[in-house]
A and B are shown apart, each in its own frame.
Chain A
Amino acid sequence: MNGTPQQRVTAGRALLEQVWNENPIFRQVLGICSALAVTNLVFNTTLMCLGLIWTTTMSSLTVSLLRTITPKRIRIMVQILIVAVYVIVVDIVFRAFFFETHSQIAAYVGLIITNCIVLGRLEAFANKNKPFPATMDGLGAGLGYSAILMAVAVVREVLGFGTLLKGTAWAVQVLPLSENAVWWRQWTIMVMPPGAFFVLAMAVWAAKAWAMRRDGERAAAATGGAS
């Protein structure tokens, strides 16, 4: 079980890798399923992200603790059930404290169970590693994922409604609404489903361009040093 280099990952490194270097959305465009649909409102997205961070962290911890006693053949099913338990906790908490929002996002909260990132991290990391690094890996995956979704949500809500945190007590009108606006009026497309695709595509584009540039510079530095 122990000895291979990949398994000796420090907790801090696992966290950082997930948040930035190997960010699942940018690197593989995985796991956007359950949460992209709610990104037209920042508040709904915040709740989804909190639920997701909780689920990835806690299920990573649990899977890691149980990794030696879980039979190999049924491990996926065990993992799914562990995730489902934590998602139910999220569902109950949201229903109790954020009833209005919960009624809009209930189905998407349930869909965290099948989020590719959660299961991907459990399968790739948590079931091979010690509890503490595994927890940090899960936390990192959740945070990295949330960072991007929040960015997408802010862009969509500001351009689509002109507001931030619409539907809560802290709602702010960022862009002025007026009938004869010259330079901006509500971009309805942004709050409709296609907007999410476009904003995410732009984000992926920017991130990849940045990564390619960095890799290019590194390669140039490496060849320069060699010659």
Chain B
Amino acid sequence: MIAELASSPLDGPLVMRLLVIFVSAAVTENILLTRFLGMCPFLSISRQMRSAFGMGLAVVFVTTCTVVINWALYAYVLKPLEPYGLPAESLKLILFIVVIAAFVQFMEMAIERISIRLYFALGIFLPLITVNCAILGASLFMVTHVSGRQFGGWDALLYGFGAGVGWFIAIMLLAGVRSRIKEDSVPAALRGPGITLIVAGIMAMAFVIFQGMIKL
């Protein structure tokens, strides 16, 4: 997936490196529009700006935190134990999903305390965030970056944050477009998911174009 460039932008100074990681995670490798992760909530919750905003923020927060936690577990627990016969590559799947599920559980309790309105607005989608592919996806792609080149803690933080922000941008844009086309005369059979996919495709074109400029 990632082109092996001879002189990567990652070789530059730290700030530059972090910026490259952030922008490419958020835009050119947008987890939703170029990797199709987190499509289910993307399609079902993007009817209203309000709930899209809440879900987007939740995803940013959860992705950032879980990518960092999973990075630490992968780099400091699984990898060092691999020479001793631990099947790190298989075990990471179970470990990551358990970390994510536990974290979401914690967040659900926190949101219930902080804002009961947000809690009811998100309703069924809060538990579903555990199975939001974008969140596990961010962790799994983080691992491919780790094994491709040395990915440090700050890199993982920025990568997770970038992936979350990318998802947030995409769902907000889509919610905006959808609220605009609600009254338009879309062909009956194309209403709902059909037109949403086409809109997402056009948005994806805009995001993918930047791949020529910046690439992780």
Please list the residues of chain A having a beta carbon within 8 angstroms of any beta carbon in chain B: 28-34, 36-37, 76-77, 80-81, 84-85, 87-88, 91-92, 95, 104, 106-107, 110-111, 113-116, 119, 189, 192-198, 200-201, 204-205, 208-209, 212
Contacts and interface: CB of A to CB of B under 8 A. Distances in A.
Given A29-B197, A110-B136, A197-B201, A192 B36 contact: no
Nearest to B29: A193
B205 to A, nearest CB: 5
Interface string B124-155: 00010011111111001101100000000000
A119 B131 contact: yes
A114 B132 contact: yes
A111 B144 CA distance: 13
A22 B140 CA distance: 31
A5 B134 CA distance: 37
B5 interface: no
B133 A34 contact: yes
B194 A205 contact: yes
Main secondary structure of the interface of A (DSSP, over half): helix
A107 B188 contact: no
Nearest to A39: B36
Contact of A116 (B97, B131, B136, B140): B131
A106 B140 CA distance: 9
Contacts of A31: 40
Given A84-B97, A192-B208, A198-B201, A111 B133 contact: yes
Contact of A201 (B92, B127, B140, B194): B194
A76 B98 CA distance: 11
Given A113-B136, A116-B131, A198-B201, 14 more contacts: A34-B133, A37-B35, A84-B94, A88-B94, A91-B90, A95-B89, A107-B137, A107-B141, A110-B136, A114-B135, A114-B136, A195-B201, A197-B198, A212-B188
Contacts of B136: 110-111, 113-114
Contacts, number: 125
Contacts of A209: 189
A205 B197 CA distance: 10
Contact of A80 (B40, B101, B140, B190): B101
Nearest to B204: A194
B2 to A, nearest CB: 11
25 contacts: A29-B39, A30-B40, A31-B40, A33-B36, A33-B137, A34-B133, A80-B131, A81-B97, A81-B98, A85-B94, A88-B90, A88-B93, A91-B93, A106-B140, A107-B144, A110-B136, A111-B133, A116-B131, A189-B205, A193-B33, A197-B198, A200-B197, A201-B190, A201-B197, A205-B194
A39 to B, nearest CB: 9
A84 B205 CA distance: 33
B38 interface: yes
Contacts of A81: 94, 97-98
Contacts of A85: 94
Contact of A204 (B39, B127, B194): B194
A150 to B, nearest CB: 16
B133 A114 contact: yes
A63 B198 CA distance: 36
